[in-house]
Structure formats: C-alpha cells, structure tokens
Amino acid sequence: MKFSWKNLLLWSLPIIVISFFLWQGLFAPIANENKTNLTNSRMTYGRFLEYIEMGWVKKVDIYDNGHTAVIEAIGPEIGNRMQKIRVELPASAPELITKLKKNYIDLDAHPTKNNTALWSLLGNLFFPLLLVTSLTLLFRRSNNATGGPGQAMSFGKSKALFQIEAKTGIIFDDVAGIDEAKEEFEEIVTFLKKPEYFTAVGAKIPKGVLLVGPPGTGKTLLAKAIAGEANVPFFSISGSEFVEMFVGVGASRVRDLFKKAKENAPCIIFIDEIDAVGRQRGTGVGGGNDEREQTLNQLLTEMDGFEGNTGIIVVAATNRADILDSALLRPGRFDRQVNVDIPDFKGRLDILNVHAKNKKIDTNVSLSIIARRTPGFSGADLANLLNEAAILTARERKNQITLKEIDKAIDRIIAGMEGTALIDSKSKRLIAYHEIGHAIVGTLLKDHENVQKVTLIPRGQARGLTWFTPSEDQSLISRSQIKARIMGALGGRAAEEIVFGESEITTGASNDLQQVTSMARQMVTRFGMSTIGPMSLENEDSNPFLGRGMGNNNEYSDEIAIKIDSQIKLIVDECHKKTRDIIKNNRVIIDKLVDLLIEKETIDGNEFANIIKQYTKVPQKI
Ligand code: ADP
Ligand code: ZN
C-alpha cells in the first residue's frame, strides 16, 4: 500500500471520530478532576506540616481553589531528591499560610477557571492528535522497506532515556569510610586512563562491576568518583525506570544507552537498582514479567557485544546480589563484585569529616562523639544529619553549628519529629513511670547499656523515650546482655503494673513487648541459649515479615515447636519477675525521679546516674 494523505484520512477519520467520543465519555471527566495531578506521589496533610517544620519544603503551588497543593520538597523519606508531591488540603487550613510565611516558603496559587478550560481543550485535542501522529508513523513505516521489526515500537526513543553527566566533579576524596571498595575502584580508574598498561601484557579490562550494599552507603557516589577521577562522562539509569508499560521500551532504552556510550567511550555506565531488571528470570509472584526479561536479555546482549577494551565500564548497584540472575554474574559481564557496607566507627568519622568541610561547626563539637552516637547510620544518613543540623542552626539565626543542633538532628533522624509534651495529667504520670521504669532497670543492670537521657517529649510514634548509649561492638553479645536488654525493655510495663495496678496497664508497651518476644525467641532458636540446647532452629534470613508458617523453611518437628514456645515463655517470665522486683525494691527513688522528670521533661544520662548513686548502689546484685 502506498502512502498518501488520502489513504491516511480514509483510514483514520472513523477511528478519530469514535475515539473522540470514547475519550470524552471515559477520560474527560477523570482528566478534569485530576487536572492538578502533576505528580503521582502523595503525602498526607499532617506529614506535609511536619515537612514544613523540618525545612524540607521548598515551594508550594495551590490548585483547585485551595483543595490541593503540589509541593516541591526534599527529604530523607523521598530519597533526598527534590520531588513534586501532591497533598490534599483540609477544607479550612488557616495555619498553613502563616506557617509557610514563617518558614519563608515560596507560595503560589493557581486559579482554577482558565486551567479547566485549557486542560479540557488540551484533553479534547490530545487523543485525536496522538492518533493521527501514530497512524502517520505506522504508514511511514509500512512504506519504508528498511524499517525492521525493531522499530515497530520505538516510543521509547521519544523520552528522556538516561542521564548524562559530562563531568561529575566527584573525586575519591569525597568518598570516605569504604576504603576497600575505593581501592578496587582506584584500579579501574587506571584501566580507563592508561588502558595500554593492561593491553600490552594481554590483560582484559573488566567490563562490569557490581556494587552490593544497603541504600545510602555511597554506591552512586563511588561510581561518579571513578568517572570524575578518570575524567570521563557518566551515563546513568535506574533499573526501576525500565519497568514500563510497553513491552520493548526497556530493551530499546538499553540499546540506546549503550549506543550513546560507545560513541562517547571511554565512559562509565551506571545502572542503579539493577535487581529491578536483573532478578532471576521466570520467578516472582504471578509469573515472569515479559518486559523485565526482555530488558535483561538486551542488557546481556549489549554487555557481550562490546570488547572489553573499548573503555566502557558498566557499574551496577544493588542491595541484593542473591536475587540476581546468574547470567549477569558470568565472566565477561558483572564478574567483579564489590561490597559496600554500613560504615563502622572510623568510617563514620571519616564521612563526617568529609561533610563537615563545607560547614561552619563550633570548635567545641567533636565529630568523634557524633560518630560514637550513630552506629547503624549510612553515609547518606550522616550527610543528612549534618545538613539537618545546619538547617536548624540557620533557623535559629546562629552562625555556627553547635552540639545542641547536632543532638536534635540525631534524635530526629532516629526517632522522628519532636512533638509537644503533654500537660500534667494522669497519662503524663503514667508515661513518666513507664520511661523511668526502662531507665532504672537499664541503669541498675551491669550488662545493660547506659542511659543517655530520658524524656517526656514525644517523637514520631513514641510518647516518651529513654535513650541508651549504643555500644560500638554489637557483633558478639552475651546471654546476660540479651537478658539485660529484655529486662530493660520490660521495665516500662513492669512500672505501670506496680504503680498503677494490673487493670490500668496501657497499650504503650506494645513495641517493647515485640522486642522482648523477638529477643527471647532468637535466644532459643538461633543462639542456642535455652535448655533445648545448642541448636540453630531458624534461618537467619527467614522472612520476619511473613510471620510463622509462611515462607518459613525451618525444619523442626511440631514437638520442638511446642518446646520452643515454652522456652520463650520461660525466659520472658523469669525476666519479667526480676524486672518487677527491681521496680518494687526501688520505688522511693523511682517516685522521686518521676517528679523530677515531670518537672523538667528531660533528664540527661549523667544527671540520672548521679541521682541514682545517691540512693542506691550501682550496679546492684540482681
Ligand atoms: P547509594 O547509591 O549507595 O544509595 P549514594 O551514593 O546515593 O548512596 O549516597 C547519597 C549521598 O550520601 C551521597 O551523595 C553523599 O552525600 C552521602 N554519602 C553516602 N555514602 C558516603 C560516603 N561513603 N562518603 C561520603 N558521603 C557519602
Ligand atoms: Zn516503653
């Protein structure tokens, strides 16, 4: 069939007419309602207010006569990237405008009328236009003898496919705390800079490096640093972006990516979240995913298709290497694997030093104390911590970050937003007894971590909090240390029981009890710390979220299962009894501490320990 405009019209006119009515009937109402739906991410109004408080909101656009806002924000929950998020506003929100003003946030309101007209006009035109365009493309293609099947669905081409940075500007000095991974990568920079050293002796340059580690540990940063050090361009794409609606789009993106990369070699290709495409083929709930498998196959083809010495190095990142398709890990593909872990004390200190460089920090602040207080923080958490502290400092119009802001920022990151304390009431007393219960048990047991502070100021979900100084070495924990932790966790509930009576105990201990049960269970099933004997009865990675019975591949009999349960109960009962004894025996000092806590709302660890020492011997023999 030869292409002609007459032909095109003949074919497309009825379709346009039908689809126009379809569009009007089906889509237009939705389109009109959702005219402000510029983004798919949503957030509750309450969370939005918290984001404002934290200084994470940069801009607010109000639509729909004040019913909807689209905000631009940056925050740890949304990957520390600037994102547009939609918020439904309550019917009357007078405090919002004042809040926005107070925080100097850019606010803009958009009238609804013109928008509606414009949107419905665009809506009405959009579908027919799309149809004509795609029909034209189809006709073109069928007239074009060279157009292979690969071009049938080249929608993928019209999108922004991947990010290119000519110069990342990141150097190895910007990356800290992950020295082994860095060393590995320094060699790769030499590959890129002086390939002849390697080719001269017949060595093949690696094509792919897989970075494995939890989020925020600096994998992207490291990949950018190679590009920056070798002074080559950086191409990046995220695996999750491949999972698209149209089959074939992912594959065509991979093709385009490698094509562009080859034109720009030497260069780095970075594939973030490779597990989104690289999961083992033919697995997953609901069968395989065609699109994903095609994308993966294309990736494998591309990696095989270029010679090792062209100067392209593909760096991929994942936090789960175990679920990757084994084909990806074969020689000539991602045959180098580099682990990037959550930093230890020294690592955290190094990372803090990197991020403290461009900040004004009071000379009294010791970064090593911060590093000590933050076990489990990733590099991104630490960067975020210093940034939060800087924001708090700026908000108070101070010109240097002090320990106070840093402390606040740490608490915020660990336990969430600070609320306001309750006014004096029965529940405030109950919470005070609960927290002092944790704190006193923790202080009197010699195997328990020290109390860092006790507070009645709520944070996140918690209505009061007792903080303990975390010990650095969490790798070997003794039986008596676990028991001390169980007793510490039971301290809150035990205090409620003894002071207020069995019938007054509250739901406030639910989180504590979860921890208690999980610790006791692990003592029995994983650490061999019960009379069942030194046996491992549960796999470390049996999924804690599925509950027992599902996804559970433990191989013990029902008889053992009953024993496990009774051993767990035995441990918890014994700890509970001892904890109650501690509370009973120290009732006088507990009452005093509660009065002090209600008056001051926060008692710091040293003060707490000093008061206890005046009244009783620490640690007591329990
Ligand atoms: P990942 O890719 O592992 O999720 P990123 O590389 O995106 O983590 O880290 C996010 C940010 O956190 C970085 O831009 C950097 O500011 C900070 N960061 C993370 N790890 C480190 C590190 N090891 N050294 C210095 N900064 C780090
Ligand atoms: Zn508690």
Pocket test for ligand 1, best of 165, 221, 388 (most atoms within 8 A of CB): 221
pLDDT of 156 strictly over 50? no
3-class SS at 207?
A: coil
Residue 504 CA to ligand 2 center (angstroms) comes to: 15
Greatest mean pLDDT among 21-35, 309-323, 407-421, 599-613: 599-613
Amino acid (1-letter code) at residue 73: A
Residue closest by Cα to atom 15 of ligand 1: 380
C-alpha 55/C-alpha 76 separation (Å) is 12
- Give the model's pLDDT for residue 44: 79
Average pLDDT over residues 548-559: 62
Token digits for 151? 């071009």
| Ligand 1 atom nearest residue 343's Cα | 23
Choose from 4-13, 186-195, 512-521 the range with maximum mean pLDDT. Answer: 512-521
Rounded to an integer, what distance in angstroms lies between the CA atom of residue 579 and that of residue 438? 10
User: What does the domain layout of the chain look like in residue ranges?
Assistant: 36-109, 172-339, 345-415, 426-543+555-613
For residue 259, report the distance from its CA to the centre of ligand 1, in Å. Answer: 29
Q: By percentage, how much of the chain surpasses pLDDT 90?
A: 32
**DSSP assignment, residue 324?**
B
Residue of minimum CA distance from atom 17 in ligand 1: 380
Helix (H, G, I), strand (E, B) or coil at 190: helix
Q: Which CATH superfamily is domain 172-339 in?
A: P-loop containing nucleotide triphosphate hydrolases (3.40.50.300)
Q: What dihedral do alpha carbons 493, 494, 498, 501 form, nearest 10°? A: 40
Q: What is the pLDDT of residues 426-467, one digit of tens each?
A: 888 999 999 999 999 999 998 998 898 999 888 877 788 888
352 burial type by CB count under 10 A (0-12 exposed, 13-18 middle, 19+ buried): buried
- Residue-wise pLDDT for 298-325, tens only, equals 888 888 877 666 788 899 999 888 888 8
Ligand 1: lining residues by beta carbon, under 6 Å: 175-178, 215-221, 317, 351, 354, 379-380, 383
Contact 299, 256 (CB under 8 A): no
Cβ atoms 276, 319 nearer than 8 A: no
Helix (H, G, I), strand (E, B) or coil at 544: coil
pLDDT band per the 50, 70, 90 thresholds, residue 23: very low
Distance from C-alpha of 390 to C-alpha of 386, rounded to nearest angstrom: 6
The Cβ of residue 199 has, within 10 Å, a number of other Cβ atoms equal to 14
Q: Could you tell me the distance, in angstroms and rounded to a whole number, from the CA of residue 420 to the centre of ligand 1?
A: 33
Fold exhibited by the domain 36-109:
3.30.720
Q: Which two tokens stand for residue 182?
A: 């860095």
Average pLDDT value for residue range 500-528:
93
Q: What is the CB neighbour count within 10 angstroms for residue 327? A: 16
C-alpha 197/C-alpha 179 separation (Å) is 24
In angstroms, the CA 532 to CA 155 distance is 62
Q: How far is CA 578 from CA 250, 491, 495, in A?
A: 60, 10, 12
Q: In this predicted model, which residue has the larger pLDDT, 300 or 539?
A: 300
Q: Residue 308 corresponds to which tokens in the numbers above?
A: 């090792």
Measured in Å, residue 82 CA sits from the centre of ligand 2 at 36
Ligand nearest to the CA of 441: 2
pLDDT for 136: 57
Closest ligand relative to 219 C-alpha: 1
User: Of residues 229, 293, 388, 435, which has the active-site annotation?
Assistant: 435
Question: Other CB atoms closer than 10 Å to residue 390's CB: what's the count?
Answer: 21
* Pairs from 537-542 (Cβ < 8 Å, separation ≥ 24): 537/564
Give residue 564's Cα distance to chain centre.
34
| Residue 113 confidence class, pLDDT cut points 50, 70, 90 | very low
Q: Is pLDDT above 60 for 283?
A: no
Neighbouring C-beta atoms of residue 448, cutoff 10 Å: 22
pLDDT at 476 over 90: no
H and E: helices and strands count for the chain:
22, 14
- Fold for 426-543+555-613, please state it: Methane Monooxygenase Hydroxylase; Chain G, domain 1 (1.20.58)
Whose CA is closest to 388, among 355, 421, 423, 366?
355
In this prediction, residue 583 has a pLDDT band, given cuts at 50, 70 and 90, of: very high
> How close is the Cα of 375 to the center of ligand 2, in Å?
21
Pairing of strands 602-604, 68-73: unpaired
Across 10-24, 80-94, 313-327, the highest mean pLDDT is recorded for: 313-327
The residue contributing the CA closest to ligand 1 atom 25 is 175
**Higher pLDDT pick, 78 / 373:** 373
Task: Name which of 162-166, 472-476, 483-487, 574-578 the model is least confident about.
Answer: 472-476
Check if CATH label 3.30.379.10 holds for domain 345-415.
no
**Cα Rg of the chain (Å, integer):** 30
CA of residue 174 to ligand 1 center, whole Å: 9
Q: Which residue is closest in CA terms to ligand 1's atom 12?
A: 380
Annotate 292-309 with DSSP letters as a single string. Answer: HHHHHHHHHHHHHHS-GG
Task: Check residue 245 and give its pLDDT.
Answer: 52
pLDDT in tens, 229-264: 989 999 998 887 776 556 677 888 888 888 888 888
Provide the pLDDT for residue 69: 83
Question: How would you write 384-441 as a 3-class SS string?
Answer: HHHHHHHHHHHHCCCCCECHHHHHHHHHHHHHCCECCCCCCCHHHHHHHHHHHHHHHH
Q: Which ligand is nearest to the CA of 211?
A: 1
The residue among 241, 265, 267 whose CA lies nearest residue 254 is 241
State the ligand closest to the CA atom of 181: 1
Residue 224 · residue 131 · CB < 8 Å: no
Q: Are 473 and 344 in contact (CB under 8 A)?
A: no
509 C-alpha to ligand 2 centroid (Å): 5
**Looking at residues 483-507, what average pLDDT do you find?**
95
The angle, 0 to 180 degrees and rounded to 10, between the axes of the packed helices 558-585 and 479-500 is 60
Q: Whose CA is nearest to atom 11 of ligand 1?
A: 380
- Ligand nearest to the backbone CA of 490: 2
Q: Specify the 3-state DSSP secondary structure of 364.
A: coil
* pLDDT computed for residue 17 by the predictor: 46
Question: Rounded to 5 degrees, what are φ and ψ at 361?
Answer: -120, 135
What's the CA-to-centroid distance between 381 and ligand 1, angstroms?
Answer: 9
How many whole angstroms from 524 Cα to the centroid of ligand 2? 23
pLDDT, position 94: 64
Q: List residues bridging with 60 in a β-sheet.
A: 71, 107
Query: Catalytic site residue 244?
Result: no
